[in-house]
Amino acid sequence: MTSLVLTDSSQLTAEGFEKLPDQIISKGSEHIDLVAVPRLWWVLGGVGTALLVIVIIVLAVTLSGSAVILEGDEVLDVVPLIDGHNDLPWNLKSLASNKMANFDFTKNFTNDPVWNCTSCFTDLPKLREGKVGGQFWVAYVSCNSQYKDAVEQTLEQIDVIKRLIKAYPNDLQFADSSESIWDAFNAGKIASLIAVEGGHSIDSRLAVLRIMAEAGARYLTLTHSCNTPWADGSPVDGTGGTPEHNGLTEYGKLVVKELNRLGVMVDLSHVSKQVMIDAINVSRAPIIFSHSSAWSICNHHRNVQDDVLHNMTFFFFIIFIFIIIIIIIIIIIIIIIIIIIIIIIIIIKQQQKCIQPTQNNGVVMVNFYSGFVSCSEANATLDIVVDHINHIRNVAGVNHVGIGADYDGVSKMPTGLENVSKYPDLFNRLANTKAGEPTWTAEDLKKLAGLNLLRVFKDVEKVRDSLAASGELPYEDLLPETSLGNNTECRTDL
């Protein structure tokens, strides 16, 4: 490295060259080299330019990588697509009597000569083509089993789900936590979870609920199409329907609390609107709608109304208002503060009249069934499902929408979403935004695919762990005998 030598003479010597006297300015006894200083700036400028070029190249590579992810369905290679509801186990029961020997999951069941099932939309080749990363397999039994053998039948359905998973270890992997979903996805397998659809499956016994949770059930749909002794189903909101309980009974609220304690998600698909409101108010953890769509687009009692959707973000609205109040307190005199507080209280009260439930950081997983998205099995299309997804996003927010297609549980799916292989088409359509639609970024599509559900699942687990740490014990309350009415023939413990 060249060394500079400052002297009191009229010349400055640097290794290998001399400077002329007029190139040196005298300042006291020191001399400043006017040639060396510009040369130093050139060196620094060159280094800075090189660093800037490197940064630009890195950003360009990063942004170009993001652009590739924006190809809609390619996000499904990065995060698991988790479908909240598939009724394949019901088809196993109704068509094969749960006998795995009569079942080959690698076949196309639509054209299978044994099954001859026009409403079978799920098999392994289609799941793989559809890039499914996680699936809630549903243990459902008919409402006809209520007060009879619902518990036994539900346990049989849980059993067949587990046997299905074990029978295809190269493709399916059992999951019972948010972390184990990622484990399966990273192993290249479909995370397979268990759900129980219908509160009648627990026979109004919290002990049965605990056993099912122990067996792996990770959400309970509070009702199906029938009321339970502690909750109303959605048909009470339909034409000619009459509420039996006007929401959740006190015992129904205990069911929700026990689900929270167990770390099992509360599913509000199929329930009446008042049960939705009651459950959201009671639950200490986020809730889900495992397979429901937007009531504003199709006015079916199975869908979710906007005032319920609004509750997903209402609490944050209140917090935002009070943050503003605090800022105003700091900068404005007391009289203006009082006026603003009064105005805000009025606003909140008006909001509460419209939005009855409290905030819940849950997720609505959109149902694809033609009858629920278009109110007509004949006219449903992929674009109508997109309308439902966009509506829920616009009302509740992009953090509160997911996928719960209901394949194998219904008779007709929309054109363009005929079976489980079609999920990529949906994500590609969302990525190609039309006029008037919200823009779906790669991050948005990841949330829709599975990150929103994973967040809810993780939050439910945190509530479970917090309650355990606080010493909360299992609820041991029994359903009041009067709640059963005349449905006591099959009970011997009353």
Active site residues per annotation: 85, 87, 197, 224, 270, 291, 406
Rounded Cα distance, 287 and 279, in Å: 8
Contact 474, 258 (CB under 8 A): yes
Residue 36 corresponds to which tokens in the numbers above? Answer: 């060396």
* 85 sits in which H/E element: strand 81-86
Q: How many residues does the chain have?
A: 494
Cβ atoms of 127 and 191 within 8 Å: the answer is no
Buried b (16+ CB within 10 A) or exposed e, 109-133: bbeeeebeeebbbbbbebbeebbbb
Helix (H, G, I), strand (E, B) or coil at 381: strand
Closest CA to 409 of 301, 216, 270, 213: 270
One-letter identity of residue 12: L
Tokens 């652009």 correspond to 67
Tell me how far CA of residue 76 lies from CA of 100, 134, 239, in angstroms: 30, 11, 40
Using CB atoms within 10 Å of the CB of residue 236, give its burial: 0 to 12 exposed, 13 to 18 middle, 19+ buried.
Answer: buried
B/e letters for 28-57, b = 16+ CB within 10 Å, e = fewer, are eeebebeeeeeeeeeeeeeeeeeeeeeeee
Q: In a 3-state reduction of DSSP, which class is residue 194? A: strand
Paired strand residues for 217? 194
Angle (CA) 56-59-60 rounded to 5° is 85
Cα–Cα distance, 296 to 286 (Å, whole number) = 23
Closest listed residue to residue 88, CA positions, set 165, 201, 176, 148: 165
354 phi and psi, to 5 degrees?
A: -90, -30
Of 168, 204, 12, give the one whose Cα is nearest residue 88. Answer: 168
- Closest C-alpha to 83, from 382, 364, 404: 404
Q: Residues 198, 270: contact at Cβ < 8 Å?
A: yes
Residue spans of beta strands (DSSP E) within 376-480: 401-403
